Amino acid sequence: MTLSNKARRRLMIFVMVAPAFVVLFGVVVYPFFYNVVLSLSNMSLLHIRDWKIIGFDQYVKVFTEPSQPDFYLVFVKTIIWTVVNVVFHVTIGVFLALVLNQKDIRGKGLFRAILVLPWAVPQLIVALTWRGMFNYEYGAINLMLTQWLGVEGVQWLRQPLEAFLAVIITNVWLGFPFMMIIALGALQSIPHDLYEAADIDGASWFHKLRHITVPLIRPVMIPAITLGTIWTFNNLNIVWLVSNAGEPGDQTHLLVSFVYKAAFNFYRYGYGAALSMIIFFILLAFSLTFMRRSNVTQNVYS
Amino acid sequence: MRPKDILRLSRWPAVLALVTLVSASAFLWNGCHRRDDDKIRITIWHQDRIDVRLILQRQLDRFMALHPEVRVEQLFKETEELRSGFIIAALAGQGPEIVYGPSDQVGPFEVMDIILPLEGLFEKEWLEQFDEKGRIWYKGHLYQLADKLGNHLTLLYNKKLVPVPPTTDEELVAVARRLTTDLNGDGKTDRYGLAWNYTEPFFFIPFMTGFGGWIMDDQGNPTLDNPGTVGGLNFIKQLRDVHKVIPNEADYVVADILFKDGHAGMIINGDWSWAGYQNAGLDIGVAPLPRITATGLWCAPMVSPKGFSINVNVSEEKRPWVIALIRFLMAEENQLESAKELFTMPTHKAVQSGEFVQTNEILRNSRLQIEHGRPMPVVPELRAIWDAMRPSYQAVLAGTMKADQAARNMQLMALRRIKDMNE
């Protein structure tokens, strides 16, 4: 039996796509739908083998069950955490990229390597090092504050607000190199002719930034910001390690550490799955809205 | 080029893709069903640090030399990863044959039905060679066999700074006050009398018990709102704020470094840390935690054996080798080897009554501390207790809550957490 040309072509397409599809199905599609099923179930410590579908009860619990710390408070903190981090990541990243993109900077490669270092160090080491630096008596931050600036040391890890600031500072330090690298790549792809034409027209530095640089790096930065937002929103490592699992007194939790606690500390798999679905929908809504409003898919030159 | 030629050409990518797919499948299959030899493979998951791993490997090598048909691999996992990873793997019908760890994992593993009852797998006479505390029974079945007793906190002191360890809370304060010094006259404390990871509830337990409290009753109901909690909280706060003999802020790492560097004369730490301090060149002494004068009670840390449990998925065919391995690792000479190198308390009665344990100063005092201690509950609700204690305990340390209010909050929170867990 011989196959028609069309059938052969289809078979070839199938064969080419099949490996990627199998892997994607195994690591994304199946776990995602399994999580959806779990979120509708009562799976927990006592019902881990005999779990059943109970509808949307777990979702209702997420929004109505009294929790410590309060779910809505954690949600607001997660928003603040995400916004502050991403704003600083982008601002510092783009600023440094603009500086590094200048023609007349010597040792550009060295500066670039140094600035990328925070990104290259494993998060675990970064987090534990910063935790040590925030120690009240022996930490480098307070030693600098007291010895150089002559101000009182801050109880970074003992007070809720200060602890939250400490984890934000750590994550800002950790996150800006990614944005810097992305922005630098985008800046280097801008044709130099445009700046020369602007110079001939007598455009100022600010005008060039506003009318050439920003619009032309936007198609690269918007997906990077979207990714950065999703990563930051879901960043368990830094908060968990710097604050030693939510210290002081569970005051430095994000939604994702809430999920971790529910699922892995208290074996509330159904509840944890429902909470993670809520996080998924929050991030999905954000990504779609942000991408649409920022017109990222439009051709920048049109 | 005619369409026919294109099609002919397009066969090559298709063939290549097929070859790739077949190779990848073969690779994956091989990875999942690796059989580099015909040996019986046994895997042990544990959460032990490197020095313990090295000793375990030596013992495994000896076992494999005796049983060339068996290949045993040990795999280190962090405590939480060990627990959650084993749950996930065992529920999926997979996982290591043996899981080794502290006894508090028995409760959740039993509830999830992922470990085997052991009483039918080992003879009664053989089991009776071991300390009763090392045989972990839960709901009428034996689920864990421990080769080490303890995981307990003790008072460690630097012998150069503390010739005689304190035995009461008053002596503890007096010694700590003497040690706490501003050595260079800059107005800052350079050496503290005592340091420990005092923000963690596990490290608070000795003081709670010293003041007469305990975390739960025999039925597993929390009993956190008790005078012991209040007394313990106030005592620690006084050490920091009134006597100023402990650092303002100290987690495990900070306390550990302070003690190692001679910036703290005493530390409260577990049996896992002793060998490390000796290897760091410190002349340390181990003493039982002091007695609280007001109550007449010893500060009693939690005592938790560490031992072996068998995955419920181990096949009947493989079980004899798994049992043989556990027997081997529990044997007298292996427990003695660990005791000598790690100063851990063995469960084998012959080793316990042997010369080394009886004459070694560290192990003698460790034994005393174990006798003062209280067994760590193995019920799953213990998780809820820890989680309920942490926020209020830390709020007291942060100065935002009174001790009696904290005790009430801990109790309420524990009840709620347990209700959530048992939904």
Residue-wise pLDDT for A223-279, tens only, equals 999 999 999 999 999 999 999 888 888 889 999 998 998 998 899 999 999 999 999
Helical (H) or strand (E) element with B56: helix B50-66
Residues A90 and A231 reside in one and the same domain: yes
Closest chain B residue to A42, measured at CA: B423
Is the CB of residue A107 less than 8 Å away from at least one CB of chain B?
no
Are residue A14 and residue A151 in the same domain, yes or no? no
Q: Which residues of chain A have a CB within 8 Å of the CB of B112?
A: 45, 48-49
Confidence of residue A195 (pLDDT cuts 50, 70, 90): very high
From A157, A158, A266, residue closest to B420, measured CB to CB: A266
Which pLDDT value is given to residue B390? 93
How high is the pLDDT of residue B235? Answer: 98
Asked if B112's CB is within 8 angstroms of A45's CB, the reply is: yes
Residue A167 to residue A133: CA distance in whole angstroms: 12
Specify if B292 maps to a domain.
yes
**Domains of chain A: total:** 2
Chain pair A-B, CB pairs under 8 angstroms: 118
Q: How many Å lie between the alpha carbon of B353 and the closest alpha carbon of chain A?
A: 39
Cβ-Cβ contacts under 8 Å, A48 against chain B: 87, 91, 111-112
Question: Confidence class of residue B185 from pLDDT cuts 50, 70 and 90?
Answer: confident
Q: What confidence category does residue B25 fall into, taking pLDDT thresholds of 50, 70 and 90?
A: low
User: Which of A65-79, B232-246, B364-378 is predicted least confidently?
Assistant: A65-79
Same domain, B70 and B181: no
Distance from first CA to last CA of chain A, Å, rounded?
Answer: 52
Report cis status (omega within 30 of 0) of the bond before A69.
yes
The token duo for B218 is 């025999």
Asked if residue B84 is part of any domain, the answer here is yes
Gap from A32 CA to chain B (nearest CA, Å): 16
pLDDT of B29 reads 59
Whether residues A15 and A73 fall in one domain: no
| B9 found inside a domain | no
Taking CA–CA distances from A17, the nearest residue in chain B reads B17
Residue contact B398–A249, C-beta within 8 A: yes
**pLDDT tens per residue across span A263-279:** 988 999 999 999 999 99
Helices B227-241 and B382-397, interaxial angle, to 10°?
Answer: 40
The CA–CA distances, whole Å, from B295 to B212, B228, B231, B233, B276 equal 7, 10, 10, 15, 34
Q: Are residues B196 and B284 in the same domain?
A: yes
B387 and B248 share a domain? yes
Whether B5 shows a pLDDT value over 60: the answer reads: no
d(CA A249, CA B387): 9
Between β-strands B306-310 and B98-102, what pairing exists: parallel, antiparallel or unpaired?
antiparallel
Residue type, A180: M
* Residue A302 pLDDT class (50, 70, 90 cuts): low
Are A19 and A151 found together in one domain?
no
Closest Cα in chain A, distance from residue B373 (Å) = 25
Same domain (yes/no): A153, A233: yes
A183 and A269 co-located in one domain: yes
**Chain A 265-284, residues with CB within 8 Å of chain B CB atoms:** 265-268, 271
Looking at the fold, whether A185 and A284 belong to one and the same domain comes out as yes
Q: B195 - beta bridge partners?
A: B267
B145 CB neighbour count, 10 Å cutoff:
25
Q: Is residue A39 part of a domain?
A: no
DSSP conformation class of B186: S
Tokens of A55: 């509808």
Q: Is the pLDDT of residue A29 over 80?
A: yes
Which whole-number Å values give the CA distances from B95 to A174, B42, B72, in the listed order?
35, 10, 14
Q: What single letter denotes the amino acid at residue B181?
A: T
Distance of alpha carbon B224 from alpha carbon B212, whole angstroms: 11
Note the pLDDT of residue A109. Answer: 87
Mutate to test the interface with B, among A5, A145, A267, A275 (most CBs of B within 10 A): A267
pLDDT digits (tens, 9 = 90+) for B362-410: 999 999 999 999 999 999 999 999 999 999 999 999 999 999 999 999 9
Residue B12: what pLDDT? 59
Give the number of other Cβ atoms within 10 Å of residue B293's Cβ.
12
Which candidate from A15, A42, A138 shows the least CB-CB separation from B18? A15
What is the pLDDT at residue B8?
53
Number of alpha carbons in the 13 Å side-chain half-sphere of residue A243: 32
List CB contacts of A220: < 8 A, sequence separation 6 or more.
A182, A183, A185, A186, A189
Tokens 């100290």 correspond to: B250
What is the rounded CA–CA span in Å between residue B297 and residue B290? 9
Residue B334 belongs to domain with CATH number: 3.40.190.10
Which chain B residues contact residue A49 at CB under 8 A?
91, 112-113
**Residue A235's pLDDT is what?**
92
Report which of residues B17 and B117 the model is more confident about.
Answer: B117
Say if residue B240's pLDDT is above 90: yes
Whole-number pLDDT of residue B4: 53
Alpha helix locations (H) across chain A?
5-24, 30-39, 57-64, 71-100, 108-120, 123-133, 140-147, 160-188, 192-200, 205-208, 214-233, 236-242, 255-260, 269-293
pLDDT at B264: 97
What would the mean pLDDT of A193-204 be, rounded to a whole number? 93
* Residue A266 counted as domain residue: yes
Looking at residues B25-53, what average pLDDT do you find? 77
Weakest mean pLDDT among A116-130, B8-22, B153-167, B179-193 = B8-22
Is A48 inside any structural domain? no
- 3-class DSSP state of A242: helix
Are B180 and B245 a contacting pair, CB within 8 Å? Answer: yes
Q: Tell me the backbone φ, ψ of residue B286, rounded to 5 degrees.
A: -115, 130
Between positions 119 and 148 of A, the ones with CB within 8 A of B are: 128, 131-132, 135-138
Residue A100 makes CB contacts below 8 A (sequence gap 6+) with A108, A111, A112, A115, A180, A184
Chain A residues with beta carbon closer than 8 angstroms to that of B21: 15, 18-19
How near does any CA of chain A get to the CA of B26, in Å? 13
Q: According to the model, what pLDDT value does residue B209 have?
A: 98
Residue B305 has pLDDT above 90, yes or no: yes
Verify that A88 and A2 share a domain, yes or no: no
Secondary structure (3-state) at A148: coil
Mean pLDDT of A137-159: 92
Q: What is the DSSP letter of B152?
A: -
Do A271 and B20 count as a contact with CB atoms less than 8 A apart? Answer: no
Model confidence at A299, pLDDT cuts 50, 70, 90, reads: low
- How many Å lie between the alpha carbon of B410 and the closest alpha carbon of chain A? 11
- Predicted pLDDT at A245: 85
pLDDT value for B27: 58
In a domain, residue A53? The reply is no
Distances in Å between the Cα of B331 and the Cα atoms of A137, A187, A253, B343, B347 are: 47, 67, 46, 17, 10
Confidence of residue A131 (pLDDT cuts 50, 70, 90): very high
A175: distance to nearest CA of chain B, Å?
Answer: 26
Whole-number average pLDDT of chain B: 92
Contact flag B17-A15 (C-beta cutoff 8 Å) = yes
A202 Cβ partners below 8 Å, 6+ apart?
A: none
Do A22 and A97 fall into the same domain? no
What CATH number has the domain bearing residue A93?
1.10.3720.10
Nearest to B250 by CA among B271, B227, B266: B266
| CB-based contact A128 B253, cutoff 8 Å | yes
Residue A9 maps to a domain:
yes
List the single residue in A with minimal CA-CA distance to B379.
A45
Claim to verify: residue A27 and residue A68 sit in the same structural domain:
no
Q: Check pLDDT > 70 for residue A297.
A: no
Minimum Cα–Cα distance from A69: chain B residue: B391
* Phi, psi dihedrals of residue B158, rounded to the nearest 5°: -85, 115
The reply to whether B349 and B394 lie within a common domain is no
Same domain, B402 and B287: yes
Same-domain status, B126 and B225: no
Across the range B21-50, mean pLDDT stands at 74
**Domain assignment present for B27:** no
The answer to whether the CB atoms of B10 and A9 lie below 8 A apart is yes
Q: CA-CA distance, A248 to A168, in Å (whole number)?
A: 15
Q: Give mean pLDDT, residues B85-93.
A: 95
Q: State the pLDDT at residue B177.
A: 97
Measure B337 CA to nearest chain A CA, in Å. 34
A161 touches chain B (CB under 8 A): no
Pairing between β-strand B302-303 and β-strand B70-76 as defined by DSSP bridges: unpaired
Residue B121 three-state SS: coil
Residues in chain A closer than 8 A to B421 (CB atoms): 44-45, 266-268
Instruction: Tell me the mean pLDDT in the region B291-315.
Output: 97
**Same domain (yes/no): B73, B141:** yes
Same domain for B309 and B254 = no
From A12, A45, A49, residue closest to B421, measured CB to CB: A45
Instruction: Flag whether pLDDT at B10 surpasses 60.
Output: no
Q: Are B119 and B70 found together in one domain?
A: yes
ipTM: 0.83
Confidence band of A202 (pLDDT split at 50, 70, 90): very high
Q: Which residue of B has its CA nearest to A19?
A: B21
Tell whether B58 is covered by a domain: yes
pLDDT at A144 over 60: yes
Least confident of A265-269, A296-300, B113-117, B231-235: A296-300
**Residues B223 and B296 grouped into a single domain:** yes
Per the DSSP assignment, residues forming a β-bridge with B145 are B135, B308
- CA dihedral sign of residues A235, A241, A246, A251: negative
Does residue A120 surpass a pLDDT of 90?
no
Does B267 lie in the same domain as B169?
A: yes
Q: Mutating which of A5, A21, A68, A133 best tests the B interface, going by the most B Cβ atoms within 10 A?
A: A68
Determine whether the interchain pair B423/A18 forms a contact, defined as Cβ–Cβ distance below 8 Å: no
**Do residues B175 and B162 touch, judged by C-beta distance below 8 A?**
yes
Question: What are the chain A neighbours of B10 within 8 Å (beta carbons)?
Answer: 8-9, 12
Shortest alpha-carbon distance between residue B108 and chain A (Å): 7
Cα B193 to Cα B177: distance, rounded to the nearest angstrom: 6
pLDDT beyond 70 at A200:
yes
Q: Do B249 and A249 touch (CB under 8 A)?
A: no
Task: Fill in the DSSP letter of residue A53.
Answer: B
- A5 and A111 share one domain: no
**Which of A9, A42, A266 faces B417 most closely, judged by CB atoms?**
A266
Tell me, yes or no, whether B400 lies in a domain.
yes
**What is the pLDDT confidence band of residue A3, given thresholds at 50, 70 and 90?**
confident
Could you tell me if residue A300 is inside a domain?
no
Overall number of domains in chain B: 2
Helix residue ranges per DSSP H, B242-373: 252-260, 274-279, 319-329, 332-342, 349-352, 355-359, 361-372
Domain range spanning residue A261?
63-293
Distance from CA of B397 to the nearest CA of A (A): 8
The model's pLDDT over B108-164, given as tens digits with 9 standing for 90+, comes to: 999 999 999 999 999 999 999 999 999 999 999 999 999 999 889 999 999 999 999
Q: Do A136 and B108 touch (CB under 8 A)?
A: no
Q: Is residue B349 part of a domain?
A: yes
Complete edge-to-edge strand list for the sheet that includes strand B153-158:
B192-195, B264-270, B153-158, B284-287
Q: Do A45 and B108 touch (CB under 8 A)?
A: yes
What residue of B is the nearest CA neighbor of A250?
Answer: B391
In a shared domain, residues A87 and A191: yes
Mean of the per-residue pLDDT values of chain A: 92
Q: Which domain holds residue B163?
A: 153-300+381-421
Per-residue pLDDT band for A163 (boundaries 50, 70, 90) equals very high
Which residues in chain B are closer than 8 Å to A19, comparing Cβ atoms? Answer: 17, 20-21, 24
Shortest CB distance from B253 goes to which of A5, A49, A132?
Answer: A132
Q: Is B29 a member of any domain?
A: no
pLDDT of residue B20: 64
CB of A48 less than 8 A from some CB of B: yes
Q: Is the pLDDT of residue B328 over 90?
A: yes
* pLDDT computed for residue A165 by the predictor: 96
Predicted local confidence at residue B13, as pLDDT: 56
Positive or negative: CA dihedral B185, B186, B192, B193? positive
Do B238 and B263 lie in one domain? The reply is yes
Q: Is A215 on the interface with B (CB under 8 A)?
A: no
CA A15 vs CA A26, B8, B11, B30: distances in Å: 17, 16, 11, 22
Structure tokens at A197: 């034409």
Nearest to B282 by CA among B159, B171, B419, B108: B159
Which residue do the tokens 């059989």 mark?
Answer: B35
Instruction: Tell me, yes or no, whether A263 lies in a domain.
Output: yes
3-class secondary structure, B316? coil
What are the Cα distances from residue B208, in Å, to A43, B292, B379?
35, 10, 20
Q: Which among A171, A169, A158, A249 is positioned nearest to B254, based on CA atoms? A: A158
Do B372 and B360 form a contact (C-beta atoms < 8 A)?
no
